[in-house]
Amino acid sequence: MAVSITLRNIIKKYGDKAALNNVTMGVQKGHIHAIIGTTGSGKSTLLRVIATLSAPSLGSGYINGLNLGARQNQIRHQIGYMSQDSRFEQSLTLMENLTLHGKLHGIAQADLHNRISGFVTRFEVAASLHAFPHEVSYGTRRKMEFIRAVLHNPSILLLDEPTASLDQNCKELIESFLREQKLRFTTVIVSSNLDQVERLADRISILNGGRLVADGTLQELKETDRENRILDVTLSETHERDFNILDASPHVVSYTVNGNHYEISTEIDVPPESIIALFQDRVVEAAPRLLNLTDIFKKMIKVEIIHE
């Protein structure tokens, strides 16, 4: 399988602080590659380096065989980039913004209008086409920004939190497009929605403090901890002593608590009944499961996950 993006020992410093610290990774052509991590882990910085919007302090990279440091103009014409922030020209209508973008990428007028018409119909924003950016909802702006990123048919698609804070319909429209058109693009997506990453990504990179701490398919990441599983336990009431009981249990690897819901990591051969017995008659529901991406991420980064 051909590799579209290659990064080698990328370091990006801001003063004495390294936002990226020796990151090496590759993205295969036609794959959806997700980058996940906590706030400040370097996800958006890495995306900007790939987009040639931020030059690395050290290291090298190639985008479709083009040198990241020497061929920036050629690379930019092959990239569709959607940032977290709106980058529309506020004095132009959304139609004018899209038209300007298309012309900058050399799309012929007739073809450009056909493309815009097709996209705004698919993403249900045709009625807002002639409005100014500040006159439409956040969801409409994000869909228009996604349209702009794919309008010139780039070979590389870079998406920074494309569906964050959007309603379910908006998310589904974008996700279904990415699935249907998967082979048309090489996609790198930064997302804090780990359920979305599980649905879409062929490969996942985890950043922590600017370092790449894990990289692989979802199955490969799961197999790094194949000896454990999770027991989801819901209690009718919780007691302070529960923490001491869990800490003292030789069968409990780790646990997290959210109200009266406990996620308890155990060795895979530990019978669920032995954990349930710790809570006596307060268990409302208990279900064992294998680790998912959220569990793996929490274990590696040691943070709580907020689902969208």
* Closest to 7 (Cα-Cα) out of 134, 188, 159: 188
Question: How far, in Å, CA of 267 to CA of 251, rounded?
Answer: 7
Q: Are 180 and 131 in contact (CB under 8 A)?
A: no
Amino acid occupying residue 101: H
* Closest to 231 (Cα-Cα) out of 188, 277, 198, 195: 277
Domain 226-301 part of CATH 1.10.357.10? no
- The Cβ of residue 151 has, within 10 Å, a number of other Cβ atoms equal to 19
DSSP state of 57: S
* Domain ranges in the chain with CATH number 3.40.50.300: 3-222
> 3 pairs with which residues across the strands?
28
Q: Are 203 and 215 in contact (CB under 8 A)?
A: yes
Render pLDDT for 213-243 as a digit per residue (tens, 0 to 9): 999 999 999 888 778 899 999 999 999 999 9
Please report the pLDDT score of residue 143 as a whole number: 98
Low-confidence ranges of the chain (pLDDT < 50): 304-308
Render pLDDT for 97-143 as a digit per residue (tens, 0 to 9): 999 999 999 999 999 999 999 999 999 999 999 999 999 999 999 99
* Domain ranges in the chain with CATH number 3.30.70.100: 226-301
Range 3-222: architecture per CATH:
3-Layer(aba) Sandwich (3.40)
